[in-house]
């Protein structure tokens, strides 16, 4: 294989930008760099990228503004790089259409893992033509993929030809009411209908469903879902729960995630 994908790095701190460039190049990605919001926007729209790493605090145009403008024309996956205490940035960023965010300072392994997940779960890019997807070797399952066995799923390593209902019979699949979650294939269905979730939404739901009927604190959810230190940022869990409710509870008219005031959240049967 030639390249794992094209990633645009938008970061005004030269040391971080250089570090990211070295690491990503080493991992087999082709990278471009922009050091301010204006050139980031130009570069983002002038070329086809598989993913954009977007710093929030940037000269000329901030990252959120860049993201909003990019979103008018493109659904390229975006991971925001945010400052540690800027919870509002994260909320605004997710609302503005970011796929994920990572807090500085971050561990490079964490960032690389999230990049892989996003590229792996990325649906086929229509504009790029056949074979345009950047699928990881671990399998190319998409979160909201169309029919299994469709051309887009051809890169998947797993010989799965199951329908949504038989998926639920697979080992390890979590089920609460009509909602099924397949951790290994990263699929969520309500009944037969696939639900598209971001990586973090999926992880939060997985943690809640694994602990069905147990009330979990925000901190517990953040730690289990994110696997690293979320000190002082646990209200981000509220954001993901809000997104899950919009995508599942509201859309399908069911009550999946309950708030336990002063404690946290729980998923209960029925």
Q: Which residues bind Ca ion (CB under 5 A)?
A: 12, 55, 57
CA distance 93 to 85: 14
Nearer Cβ to Ca ion, position 12 or 249? 12
CB of 264 to Ca ion, least distance (A): 33
Q: Residue 150 corresponds to which tokens in the numbers above?
A: 């469709």
Nearer Cβ to Ca ion, position 12 or 95? 12
CB of 242 to Ca ion, least distance (A): 27
Nearer Cβ to Ca ion, position 81 or 188? 81
Place of tokens 């517990």: 220
CB neighbour burial string for 208-219, b if at least 16 within 10 angstroms, e if fewer: bbebeeebbebe
Number of residue whose CB is nearest Ca ion: 57
Nearer Cβ to Ca ion, position 83 or 112? 83
Q: Residue 46 corresponds to which tokens in the numbers above?
A: 């002038």
CB of 9 to Ca ion, least distance (A): 12
Q: Is the peptide bond before 105 cis (omega within 30 degrees of 0)?
A: yes
CB of 78 to Ca ion, least distance (A): 15
CB of 95 to Ca ion, least distance (A): 20
Q: Report strand pairing: 179-182 vs 174-176.
A: antiparallel
Nearer Cβ to Ca ion, position 59 or 154? 59
> What is each CA distance from 134 to 61, 113, 139, 141, 230, in whole angstroms?
29, 15, 11, 12, 30
Strand partners, 181: 174, 188
Nearer Cβ to Ca ion, position 12 or 210? 12
CB of 13 to Ca ion, least distance (A): 5
Nearer Cβ to Ca ion, position 57 or 173? 57
CB of 44 to Ca ion, least distance (A): 16
Q: Are 80 and 54 in contact (CB under 8 A)?
A: yes
């Amino acid at each position: 294989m030639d390249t794992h994908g094209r990633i645009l790095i938008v970061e005004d701190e030269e040391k971080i930008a250089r570090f990211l460039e070295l690491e990503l190049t080493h991992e087999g990605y082709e990278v471009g760099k922009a050091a301010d919001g204006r050139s980031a926007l130009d570069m983002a729209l002038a070329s086809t990228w598989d993913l954009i790493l977007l710093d929030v605090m940037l000269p000329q145009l901030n990252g959120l503004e860049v993201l909003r403008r990019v979103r008018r024309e493109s659904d390229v996956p975006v991971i925001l790089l945010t400052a540690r205490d800027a919870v509002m940035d994260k909320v605004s960023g997710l609302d503005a259409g970011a796929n994920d965010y990572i807090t500085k300072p971050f561990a490079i392994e964490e960032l690389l893992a999230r990049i892989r997940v996003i590229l792996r779960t990325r649906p086929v890019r229509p504009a790029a033509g056949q074979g345009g997807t950047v699928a990881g070797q671990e399998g190319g399952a998409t979160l909201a993929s169309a029919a299994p066995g469709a051309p887009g799923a051809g890169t998947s390593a797993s010989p799965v030809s199951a329908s949504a209902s038989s998926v639920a019979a697979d080992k390890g699949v979590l089920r609460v009411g009509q909602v099924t979650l397949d951790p290994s294939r990263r699929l969520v269905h309500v009944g037969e209908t696939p639900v598209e979730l971001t990586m973090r939404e999926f992880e939060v739901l997985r943690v809640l469903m694994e602990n069905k009927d147990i009330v979990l604190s925000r901190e517990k959810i953040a730690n289990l879902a994110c696997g690293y230190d979320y000190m002082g940022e646990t209200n981000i869990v509220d954001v993901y729960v809000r997104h899950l409710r919009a995508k599942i509870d509201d859309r399908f008219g069911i009550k999946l995630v309950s708030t336990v005031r002063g404690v946290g959240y729980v998923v209960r049967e029925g």
